[in-house]
Amino acid sequence: MLSIDNVSGVHILFPLRLNMDEKCCISLFIQTESQDLNFDSVLKLERKTGASMSLDALISAFQGISAIIHSAPHMVIARFGLIALGILLIYLGKKGILEPLLMIPMGFGMAVINASVMCFDPLNLHGGIGTLFVEAQAGAGSDMTKNAADLIYIMGIDWLQPIYSLTFSNGLIACLIFMGIGSLLDVGFIMSRPFLSIIIAIFAELGTIFTLPIAQMFGYSAKQAAAISIVGGADGPMVLFTSLKLAPELFVPIAVVAYLYLGLAYGGYPYLVKYLIPSKKLRSIEMKADSKASKITSGQKMAFAVIACVILCFLFPVAAPLFFSLFFGIIIRESGIKQFQELLSGPVLYISTMFLGLTLGILCESNTILDPKVLPLLVLGILSLLLSGVGGIIGGYIAYIFTGGKTNPVIGIAGVSCVPTTAKVAQKIVQKDNPSAIIMQYALGANIMGVITTAIIAGVFCSIIK
Amino acid sequence: MDGITISVMTLLLTTVVSLFVAVIISILVKSLLWFSKVNASRKSPSTLANAQKDDLEIAAAIAVAALSRRVLQ
């Protein structure tokens, strides 16, 4: 068991081996010379023999059990709930009901981290209960985080800490995913119908716009409220980037909530669409194959990507890394450099997504999720995505009216960014009602424009909120 | 600045910038299409000759393949 005492130091005591005759305990005593935990470690081995094996010693052999005994009942329930949720996410990911790329690593990380809670908390934040993944613990200040990093260094257990520190908490993973996504996007779909895509995408930002003042009513500052409301943009990398820029103190819970809901949106949006577009006749409207998109050459797409990126970076330099990453992926795709395109759309995208899912799962520890600052985020996050979904459908209806009934309103849901998940959702819904209807091209146009619109909003937030 | 003001400003700025991007896309697509039309009308006879030459080469390759198959039989 490990406990912290600023005067006497850190004391770890755990049984190494237990058998009938002998109980072997190892005790690691780490002394602190000053208040800022400058560790001088001394390893002391204790051997106790005889039949005096107490219940305490037996319990301390299984640190998970001793952590349950030392935890508050609601925390124990939450932990088991999150373990069950993690296993459920793996199951739903495997079944294809939720996005498997993200949900399987996330569910696994969530189940494992909530199982591996022990009486270990160098920051003494949650009554001494914690995990080896300490830096991200909710409420940890910068000094505490530094102390935790020192302790982990001394103990020699880094695990996912380097991935978290070097890619996650500095926003690099968001940019890498954006490059990968960019290399999969065909901007020909927005170039052939720019106004239709943009109108749908703007309406699909309803959640982002409305959640900001609502979040302020919950007591969050303008910066924090903006970082929370960007969840409505339904774009994971954008959420990571904006929360790092505007509210780094809420970065972990916002990222966890956003990705958790984005995964659930894949399963939840079809119900929202069917509820808001009850008419099967409307859902099964066939849209003509977009011949304009196929006429646009790769040179034209590259020219658009370069000009749009330069203009957007000029208008919102704060969000330049996002614009740069997305349009760099697009340019690589259209440039015809196969090696780079395969690199970005394959290893870079999938390695980043896998570690993102795993790290997010690891961050879904009960102490983080049940933090009083985090609970309102659960409400605001789902509200934001729900409003964006409703806004997208309204945009779809407006497009339907303005095009004289030629546009299937279901494509509105694709305006809620989350490339290409929502476009796939739209196509699935339509195909279920009318197997011959193909709306994917139009849905992808709105989808890609949704990413660009969310990036613009992120840029606006970062620029106007001081 | 309160939340409602930020939201309204964000909505306005986003709409303006997005429409600006849409206008740029339209102008770009139209001008590029115009350029490609102009280029097509300026296609030199040599380009056409090259295309015909390519066709002849393909026809010759097919004939060679047919001949070699007959020889093998």
The 10s digit of each residue's pLDDT in B8-40 is: 998 999 899 888 888 888 887 778 777 777 777
Residues 6+ apart with CB under 8 A from A74: A370
CA of B14 vs chain A CAs: smallest distance (Å): 6
With CA atoms as reference, the chain A residue closest to B25 would be A191
What pLDDT score does A116 carry?
A: 83
All residues of chain A having their beta carbon less than 8 Å from the beta carbon of residue B29 are 191-192, 296, 300, 304
Mutate to test the interface with A, among B6, B12, B33 (most CBs of A within 10 A): B6
What pLDDT score does A165 carry?
A: 78
All residues of chain B having their beta carbon less than 8 Å from the beta carbon of residue A201 are 18
Mutate to test the interface with B, among A190, A192, A398, A457 (most CBs of B within 10 A): A457
Tell me how crowded residue A191 is: count the other CB atoms within 10 A of its CB: 25
What are the beta bridge partners of residue A12? A2, A28
Averages of pLDDT over runs of 10 residues in chain A (466 residues) are: 38 36 36 38 40 64 78 86 92 86 90 82 68 62 63 68 81 90 87 88 92 91 92 87 86 83 81 91 83 77 89 87 92 92 92 90 82 83 92 93 89 86 88 87 88 90 86
Residue type, A275: Y
Q: What is the pTM of this model?
A: 0.75
What pLDDT score does A419 carry?
A: 77
b/e map B23-61, b = 16+ CB within 10 Å: eebeebbeebeeeeeeeeeeeeeeeeeeeeeeeeeeeee
What pLDDT score does A347 carry?
A: 93
